């Protein structure tokens, strides 16, 4: 039998899971393509943003991961388009032919067409984003120490996270700990209560995909940590000097982190559905091209009228499932419809604070926090990274210190004539 060439786009959870399934079979040749030469453990990206971890500690070289698979090669490059008719992927101007294709390209930040988000808010989807956020935070604090303008100082020391999902909750909780345990000691010129931390969520409660009890626990835990949780607060515009809400209020700030949503990475040649997610058959393949499989955050398959959640466990399961269906096709067997095994949800809020919901069981506090730690260490790629992250966490836990407080590129903050010049004073968010 002719050796089949399977091309996998994306070295995230879904893509790597597919490669690991396929690479064990001699009758398959695999090419993994990604714009980066590393696999990024995105669940811990927020810790790079708040100086808790170094960037290399949550990334692992793809080629090092593929050493054990002699029939697998890696190609670093940007995918420009996909030709479904001739079965080719165009990468940096060159064509890569395939017999089967698995698309696991992931998502990018979704601004929902809100003015100013793309230009003035920082997403949290890449290592570059995380380092940019960290630089902005520490640049803002350094600038606040120097300025004699009280209004500017308040805006510099106000940090807004938009989006009350797991990324937003974990980021704002980590920022609260950074303020309490690090900034308070490093910057004696700034009182801890001068730093304003705000979580904006358009829905009625944070973590609204969890139970109301879990959302309320999260709200109370964040408030005890000094975070202002503003629900039912949709953003209408982000400017270089603050955030406008749909009810007309204005919040002066120089740092806005956008975690409010994601959309599929557009790939010319592929169909696209709502929020960039691609509808597929129950086998995870395209109806018009059954040799092409869509897995992970890009997959738009519905179950009981709803699309699947865009989470790492789903991506891993779909990647492995698509690979197994390809192998079944090669053996002349029928493909199997995808079945998702929901492993539950874990969200950390801060030290000894987390929430977990697994198969109807709800738990919170220290137990949930310890489970969260164990799960993330277990799934982190590379023994070296596991040891380094664990040692960093132990160090931070006992010293109340975040070790990576280095500004790579100092941010220069603009000087407006008046931050609220076009907004009545009574409409400003009270502090």
Report pLDDT for 405: 87
Report pLDDT for 427: 43
Distance CA 383, CA 405 (A): 25
pLDDT at 335 over 80: yes
Q: Is 62 helix (H, G, I), strand (E, B) or coil?
A: helix
**Do the domains 117-260+401-427 and 4-109+262-330 match in fold?**
yes
Give the containing element (helix H, strand E) for 20.
helix 13-22
**What are the residues whose beta carbons fall under 8 Å from the beta carbon of 345, sequence distance 6 or more?**
166, 209, 210, 355, 356, 357, 358
Could you report the per-residue pLDDT of 246-290, keeping only the tens digit for each? 999 999 999 999 999 899 888 999 998 888 899 999 999 999 999
Distance CA 347, CA 297 (A): 19
Domain spanning 4-109+262-330: which superfamily?
FAD/NAD(P)-binding domain (3.50.50.60)
Query: How many percent of the chain have pLDDT more than 70?
Result: 96
pLDDT at 410 over 90: yes
pLDDT at 156 over 90: yes
pLDDT level of residue 420 (50, 70, 90 thresholds): very low
Q: Where are the domains of the chain?
A: 4-109+262-330, 117-260+401-427
Q: Is 299 helix (H, G, I), strand (E, B) or coil?
A: strand
Report pLDDT for 267: 92
The average pLDDT across 57-86 equals: 95
Distance CA 262, CA 209 (A): 16
pLDDT level of residue 187 (50, 70, 90 thresholds): very high
What distance separates the 2 farthest-apart alpha carbons in the chain? 76
Report pLDDT for 266: 84
pLDDT at 418 over 80: no
Q: Of the listed 170, 177, 201, 335, which one is catalytic?
A: 170
Distance CA 174, CA 403 (A): 14
10 Å CB burial of residue 302 (0-12, 13-18, 19+) is middle
Compute CA distances 340 → 135, 302, 314, 321, 402, whole Å: 39, 11, 7, 10, 37
pLDDT level of residue 404 (50, 70, 90 thresholds): confident
Q: Domain 117-260+401-427 - what CATH class?
A: alpha beta
Whether 170 is a known active-site residue: answer yes
**What are the residues whose beta carbons fall under 8 Å from the beta carbon of 351, sequence distance 6 or more?**
177, 369, 397
pLDDT at 114 over 60: yes
Query: How many percent of the chain have pLDDT more than 90?
Result: 84
pLDDT at 430 over 60: no
Report pLDDT for 425: 36
Distance CA 390, CA 374 (A): 10
């Amino acid at each position: 039998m002719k050796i089949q060439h399977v091309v996998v786009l994306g070295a995230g959870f879904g893509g790597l899971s597919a490669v690991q399934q396929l690479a064990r079979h001699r009758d398959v040749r695999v090419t993994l393509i990604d714009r980066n030469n590393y696999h990024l453990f995105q669940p811990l990206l927020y810790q790079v943003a708040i100086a808790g971890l170094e960037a290399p500690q949550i990334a692992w070289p793809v080629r090092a991961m593929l050493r054990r698979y002699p029939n697998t090669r890696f190609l670093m490059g940007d995918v420009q388009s996909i030709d479904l008719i001739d079965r080719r992927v165009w990468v940096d101007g060159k064509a890569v032919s395939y017999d089967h294709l698995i698309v696991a390209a992931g998502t990018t930040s979704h601004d929902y067409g809100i003015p100013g988000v793309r230009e003035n808010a920082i997403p949290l989807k890449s290592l570059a984003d995380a380092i940019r956020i960290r630089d902005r935070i520490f640049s803002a604090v350094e600038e606040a120490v120097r300025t004699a303008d009280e209004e500017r100082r308040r805006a510099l020391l106000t940090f807004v996270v938009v989006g009350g999902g797991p990324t937003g909750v974990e980021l704002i909780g980590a920022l609260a700990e950074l303020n309490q345990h690090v900034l308070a000691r490093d910057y004696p010129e700034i009182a801890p209560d001068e730093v304003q931390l705000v979580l904006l969520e358009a829905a009625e409660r944070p973590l609204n995909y969890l139970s109301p009890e879990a959302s309320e626990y999260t709200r109370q835990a964040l408030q005890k940590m000094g975070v202002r949780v503003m629900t039912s607060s949709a953003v209408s515009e982000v400017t270089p000097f603050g955030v406008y809400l749909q009810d007309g209020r204005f919040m002066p700030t120089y740092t806005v982190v956008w975690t409010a949503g994601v959309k599929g990475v557009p790939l010319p040649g592929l169909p696209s559905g709502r929020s960039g997610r691609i509808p597929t058959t129950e086998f995870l393949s395209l109806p018009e091209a059954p040799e092409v499989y869509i897995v992970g955050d890009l997959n738009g398959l519905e179950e009981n009228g709803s699309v699947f959640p865009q989470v790492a466990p789903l991506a891993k399961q779909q990647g492995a499932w698509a690979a197994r269906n390809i192998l079944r096709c090669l053996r002349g067997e029928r493909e199997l419809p995808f079945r998702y095994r929901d492993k539950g949800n874990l969200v950390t809020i801060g030290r000894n604070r987390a929430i977990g919901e697994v198969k109807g069981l709800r738990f919170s506090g220290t137990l949930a926090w310890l489970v969260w730690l164990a799960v993330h260490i277990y799934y982190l790629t590379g023994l070296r990274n596991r040891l380094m992250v664990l040692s960093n966490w132990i160090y931070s836990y006992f010293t109340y210190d975040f070790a990576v407080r280095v500004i790579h590129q100092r941010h220069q903050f603009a000087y407006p004539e008046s931050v609220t010049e076009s907004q009545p004073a009574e409409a400003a968010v009270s502090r």
